[in-house]
Structure 1
Amino acid sequence: MLSDLQRETRDEEIWKIKILSEMQRLKISFYFWREKTNNNLSYTSLMGPDKLKILKEFDLSAVFQSKTRAEQIRALWNQFYKLYLLMQNKTTTKKIFCHESQAWLDAFLAPSTGHPNKNNFVRGMYRTQDVTPYIHVLVNHVGEFLEIHQEFGLAAFSCSAVEKKNHMQVCLYFQNTLKDGGHENSQKSAILEMLEHENQQLYFALNETPNFFEAPKKFRLE
């Protein structure tokens, strides 16, 4: 959505105020700020319930100047919410979900219509380059997951452990490796450094060995 707003108007303060106003209406805590290091625009990372509320209730027409664009994105969001409900429903079959998810992808990649210099021009949605791995899984694999695990439903599964592992690996890369740098005679792959670090942590845990030592205490005798 932000990329669409940035294309619609260069003055980001206009749409930032509109978004914040709409978030306030939905009673969702949301902020924009500029990073000190690179001045990039950042914003609050929302959790599941807030994301779902935005998906269902966010008034896009209050943010976009183009009514057509607001309607296009709202239709896309509504289709995505339908997919969310299908995933929650244990009776959803692979055939139904694959059909609906493919329809959503077709809408996501809808091309422009009409002539760019005429009034009948309607800008398309997004490019094939904008299709993320998450979208690939949604369209090509979730239907299969629903078929295999229909007894339990997708709600019984969680990727939080994978996300946590990814977060830990990123932190480890920046905090405990030389990022593929270092002296040329002792240069080591960052991946190898991370694996060695994890092996050490496993050894310490299995052998009940402390992985740190307290600094020695000094006493002054008078």
Structure 2
Amino acid sequence: MGPDKLKILKGFDLFAVFQSITRAIQIRALWDQFNELYHLMQDKKTTGEFFRYKAKSWLDAFTAPSTGHPNRSNFVRGMYRVQDITPYIHVLCNHAAEFLEIHHEFGLAAFLCSPVEKMNHMQVCLYFQNTLKDGGNKNSQKSAILEMLEHENRQLYFASNKVPNFLKKSKKYRLQ
């Protein structure tokens, strides 16, 4: 969890993991820059412009291309591909500075990802439990996404209009 992640960011011995010393140094520099971004997000004195600059330099380091010729000693392997950028990295590098400027009095600690993660979990469960998974009746081929949105709209309608639930859950009996 939180404090343990910080310990790993600061003190993990990457030289024991990577055979290449150069690669270990690259990863350590990337982790150190990310640790700096983490602390800048929590500092109320951090301006959006400064954070944007630091996040852009971290992203440049994250997507650094390979240099030199692969068959020669001057070859330095690049870090990660642009395709490796996750939605969280995108938000960190492109939107967090804006959030810092707009919501400076709250700080970024006021924004959590857990509601988004919970909604994702609920929709995945709904997909595997309650949809036809883009199959079923040939005459009405609804996509699973459409089925999930319709289900969510029904739930919102019933909750906002206080429609009573007449269907009671069946009781389960255990025979011994």
TM range (shorter): 0.7 to 0.9
Summarize the Cα distance change of 1:210–1:110 in structure 2 as closer, same or farther, 3 Å threshold.
same
Equivalent position of 1:180 in the other structure: 134
Return the offset for 1:207.
Answer: 2.4
Instruction: Tell me, in whole angstroms, the C-alpha distance in 2 between the residues paired with 1:213 and 1:129.
Output: 46
Counterpart check, 1:117 vs 2:71: yes
Instruction: Tell me, in whole angstroms, the C-alpha distance in 2 between the residues paired with 1:211 and 1:107.
Output: 57
Return the offset for 1:216.
Answer: 9.2
Equivalent position of 1:72 in the other structure: 26
Summarize the Cα distance change of 1:50–1:211 in structure 2 as closer, same or farther, 3 Å threshold.
farther
Counterpart check, 1:214 vs 2:146: no
Q: Which moved more, 1:91-100 or 1:207-216?
A: 207-216
Using the size of structure 2 for normalisation, the TM-score is 0.87
Amino acid at match of 2:165: T
User: After superposition, what is the alpha-carbon deviation per residue over 1:48-78, rounded to whole angstroms, capped at 9, x for unaligned?
Assistant: 3433332222111111111110110010000
Fraction of identical pairs, as percent? 73
Instruction: Tell me, in whole angstroms, the C-alpha distance in 2 between the residues paired with 1:103 and 1:190.
Output: 40
Equivalent position of 1:108 in the other structure: 62
Can you give the 5+ residue segments of structure 2 that lack an aligned partner in the other structure? Answer: none
Instruction: Tell me, in whole angstroms, the C-alpha distance in 1 between the residues paired with 2:70 and 2:165.
Output: 69
Amino acid at match of 2:138: E
Instruction: Tell me, in whole angstroms, the C-alpha distance in 2 between the residues paired with 1:76 and 1:210.
Output: 57
Summarize the Cα distance change of 1:156–1:216 in structure 2 as closer, same or farther, 3 Å threshold.
closer
Amino acid at match of 1:60: L
Using the size of structure 1 for normalisation, the TM-score is 0.70
Amino acid at match of 2:55: S
Return the offset for 1:113.
Answer: 2.0
Identify the match of residue 16 of structure 2 among 55, 62, 71: 62
Instruction: Tell me, in whole angstroms, the C-alpha distance in 2 between the residues paired with 1:84 and 1:181.
Output: 44
Return the offset for 1:159.
Answer: 2.2
Equivalent position of 1:52 in the other structure: 6
Higher relative contact order structure (alpha carbons within 8 Å, sequence separation ≥ 6): 2
Return the offset for 1:133.
Answer: 2.2
Return the offset for 1:82.
Answer: 0.2
Summarize the Cα distance change of 1:128–1:192 in structure 2 as closer, same or farther, 3 Å threshold.
closer
Count of equivalent residues:
171
Instruction: Tell me, in whole angstroms, the C-alpha distance in 2 between the residues paired with 1:100 and 1:116.
Output: 30
Return the offset for 1:88.
Answer: 0.4
Return the offset for 1:128.
Answer: 1.7
Summarize the Cα distance change of 1:216–1:91 in structure 2 as closer, same or farther, 3 Å threshold.
closer
